[in-house]
Structure 1
């Protein structure tokens, strides 16, 4: 019995030493940061009520560029306007890659402008930018769509009769409506039930994606995905969003006029046919 316990301790000690050694080798090529624990990384050093607060505290100690370990995965943090501009503008090509987000990967599977990566994302980005530039050539321009929404905003504010109001919902709605106008070819009334439900699904999902739970899920998704949790709520919400978009795409496909594309979806369908 004593021999088996001794062997277990030796094996455990050896495993910990290997993990620490591997971690120190990896850190040799990374910016400085707090020392991580094996497997857990720096998770226990993070403030579960606000990761941003933790990162700002680390910035004070290590500077604008530092490394934190989320589990066994190292993440290089960039802080400050100048540092971010240097990375995303001056070295845009080197920093153009995107990592996967475990909570949404089962839904989008690497597709879309937001969640794609590599050559697929570059192709989608080029297509999207070209399409946005072409709006106005026989079609309603982006500027016209924004002007239309601005007029609707003015009318909505007039209805308040000068009373104090929280503008958060209104400004969220006009932003979403401009996107809807470009993508779907139509805007929605601010009280439209489908529009309100779509906004609710988006904001619920992104609030959950930004939560501490989702950060932990990123570390242990291979295990946590088999159990109940907020990741399933995100999946349900975004599936509803996908179903809404799919209905719109099918309607566009059935009413498509190749000589007069109305919006982003029409342009995308024509590009697929080509």
Structure 2
């Protein structure tokens, strides 16, 4: 139509005078400009329609895929999630859609699994099928999918095998490590005594003490509580762990190209991890300079030796950068989760003084005041053991676990999950499962005691996850929790300023941690 109109104008132009010719020439130019504009707009409309159709096609689920809330174009369900309490929100969604449902988090479909029976079915009964890790944009930016926790396939299996064997050789899960932990506890007690009953924030002090245990295994030394640079490093770890579970990480996973050029918490997350990684690289460089291959001192020395052994293998997964990311996983996980659990323990025993009195009575009866507690005491201290387990359950330290991925097509809860499906095993739904716990929402050490007061294990107790991806440092964490916890309440009684009630509201990032608080440590 536009072309015919233009032709008519040009014909008229030839039969008129020069002034009229100019006028029609101007109109013709304006028409050309309009036509060009319409072409651009048409292209943009076509592009938007194409992208919308593509987005809709991506949202079409495979046959018998788990149901879920309808996602918005392009952004999916990102902004449906309660950023402050995502684990609670997902438990509520399960009430409506069932224990297996799906979400569209940006460009990826994610299946959320709820309740003890189905989480066990996935992580334990189908352990191999659910042992994968998705390479999300956040993970790729932090460690390129290397290391231990977020690695997958052959590389992960090799790193896990080597790490377990190496850490065991340095005492992991053995009595030889117990004395190191007890020595660190003495340093921590001294730091608490120096407060002379004044209120203090226990966060970084406990972090430092717990971190020193994993530091002794990784690079053979500890750090003083007065070391300002190391304290700053611990702050960076805490901040990064919070941001890793925040809306910033979710948005980055959904729109990595856009978020790369925007400011926000995701940029701080990457900066924090870069600084921690730089610290670890310095430790590796120091070891390269002064190590004795005939006498390995720690994890770094052993890994460097493994690198040398595999130098001729082009497919080797042992190299310096992978060492850095393995250490990052061990360092971060070995510092923050145990420390957070101990802070929750302080708060719960302040809130429930009758529980604290029973714990201290059992400690006095079994251990006394003359020697430090040992792992050999645990079998004779069922009530204390039960309290520690209940703190872990109620503290719910890693509420949404770490992302899993299916390694093959499978069925779960009657639904089809194709290979490569991202999966969130909702540990909150397990630790608070009403069919597994008598009083799931109440702090009750009786959950782990039988009628005779003896300690009982509970299958639904999964704070360390389960199956192939169960926490590599579980045995170390259990030892640390028992020794630190019993030594705390052997030597001190903790209270808040003005004997006020503790705030039990947690703040959720990747972990669920207590809000900042100060305690007074009164020697017993």
Runs of 5+ unmatched residues, structure 2? 1-36, 310-524
- Name whichever structure is richer in helix by fraction: 1
Cα distance in 1 for partners of 2:116, 2:206 equals 25
> Do the aligned partners of 2:204 and 2:234 also contact (CA within 8 Å) in 1?
no
Instruction: Determine helix, strand or coil for the equivalent of 1:111.
Output: coil
Is 2:135 aligned against 1:100?
Answer: yes
**Where does residue 23 of structure 1 map in the other structure?**
59
Q: CA deviation at 1:173?
A: 2.2
Aligned-pair distance for 1:23?
2.3
**How far 1:106 sits from its partner (Å)?**
2.8
CA–CA distance in structure 2, aligned partners of residues 257 and 2 of structure 1: 74
Higher mean C-alpha displacement, 102-111 vs 175-184: 102-111
Q: CA deviation at 1:49?
A: 3.7
**CA contact 2:212–2:223 (8 Å) conserved in 1:** yes
1:186 & 1:8 partners in 2: Cα distance? 61
Which range moved further: 119-128 or 165-174? 165-174
For normalisation by structure 1, the TM-score amounts to 0.85
Number of aligned positions between the proteins: 272
| Shift in alpha-carbon separation, 1:270–1:33, aligned structure 2, 3 A | same
Aligned residues of 1:38 and 1:72 also touching (Cα < 8 A): no
Rounded Cα–Cα distance in structure 2 between residues aligned with 1:262 and 1:73: 44
Q: Structure 1 residues 259 and 13 mapped into 2: Cα distance closer, same or farther (>3 Å)? A: closer
Mark the CA change 1:221 to 1:186 in structure 2 (over 3 Å): closer, same or farther.
same
User: Higher relative CO (CA 8 A, sep ≥ 6), structure 1 or 2?
Assistant: 2
Cα distance between partner residues in 1 of 2:177 and 2:118? 32
Distance in 2 (CA, whole Å) between partners of 1:6 and 1:249 is 58
Normalising by structure 2, report the TM-score.
0.47
- Name the structure 2 match of 1:225: 260
Q: Shift of residue 245 of structure 1?
A: 0.9
Offset, 1:220:
0.2
Counterpart for residue 220 of structure 2: 185
Cα deviation for residue 214 of structure 1 reads 1.5
Q: 1:118 aligned to 2:153? A: yes
Identify if the C-alpha distance between structure 1 residues 175 and 100 changes in structure 2 by more than 3 Å, giving closer, same or farther.
farther
Greater CA deviation, 246-255 or 224-233?
Answer: 224-233
Which of 188, 204, 208 aligns to 1:173? It is 208
Indicate how the Cα distance of structure 1 residues 176 and 64 shifts in structure 2: closer, same or farther if over 3 A, else same.
farther
User: Alignment partner of 2:141: what SS?
Assistant: helix
The alpha carbon displacement at 1:227 in A equals 3.1
1:77 matched to 2:120: no
Distance of 1:249 and 1:18 partners within structure 2: 47
Partner of 1:66: 101
Aligned to 1:258: 293
What residue number does 1:89 align with? 124
Give the distance between the partners of 2:121 and 2:187, measured in 1 at CA: 39
- Structure 1 unaligned segments of length 5 or more: list them: none
What RMSD in Å do the two structures reach over aligned CA positions?
A: 3.1
Give, in whole Å, the separation in 1 of the partners of 2:191 and 2:245: 31
Which deviates further from its counterpart, 212-221 or 49-58? Answer: 49-58
Aligned partners of 2:101 and 2:113 also within 8 Å: yes
Counterpart-to-counterpart distance in 1, 2:134 and 2:181: 32
Q: Which residue of 2 aligns with 1:267?
A: 302
Alpha-carbon spacing, 1:6–1:202, altered in 2? closer, same or farther (3 Å): closer
Tell me, what secondary structure is at the counterpart of 1:103? helix
Give 1:143's aligned residue: 178
Q: Radius of gyration: which is bigger?
A: 2
